[in-house]
Amino acid sequence: MKIVVIGGTGLIGSKTVASLRQSGHEVVAASPQSGINTITSEGLKEAMAGTQVVIDLANSPSFEDKAVLEFFETSGRNLLAAEAAANVRHHVALSIVAIDRTDNGYFRAKRN
């Protein structure tokens, strides 16, 4: 199965990529480093071709309230549009324990 891990070079993404590859899947470790950027949409169309599952493990470079909200809104919008255009059937997003019970800018941005 072809799986794209957005943020595949990050703390959680790199472990996820290794584990999925060990299980025999074709995995794209997507990040700006590898030419796939959910903010600019660079490389998204090519990465989505033939993909069955996208796992979104991207994180904002800035945790400042406005910046993090803009990051998750723009990244999510671009990613979902690219997935829909390529008929990707499954989107997995990583949430945070108690995200709906703690009020801070980062958690608000993730919830949106």
- Residues within the interface to ligand NAP (CB under 6 A): 6-7, 9-13, 31-33, 37-39, 57-59, 61, 75, 94, 96, 110
Rounded CA-CA distance 107/109 in Å is 5
Nearer to ligand NAP, 39 or 69 (CB): 39
**In the bound complex, what is the minimum distance in angstroms from residue 89's beta carbon to ligand NAP?**
21
Q: How would you class 10 by CB atoms within 10 Å of its CB: exposed for 0-12, middle for 13-18, buried for 19 or more?
A: middle
φ, ψ at 74 (rounded to 5°): -70, -45
Closest approach of Cβ 24 to ligand NAP, in Å?
23
Q: How far is the CB of 72 from ligand NAP (least distance, A)?
A: 8
DSSP 56: E
**Identity of the residue, 10 or 105, whose beta carbon is nearer to ligand NAP in the bound complex:** 10
Q: How far is CA 28 from each of CA 9, 94, 107, rounded to the nearest angstrom? A: 10, 17, 27
Query: Which residue has its beta carbon closest to ligand NAP?
Result: 10
Residue that is written with structure tokens 């959910």 in the block: 38
Judged by beta carbon, residue 25 or residue 93, the one nearer ligand NAP is 93
Shortest distance in whole angstroms from residue 31 CB to ligand NAP:
3
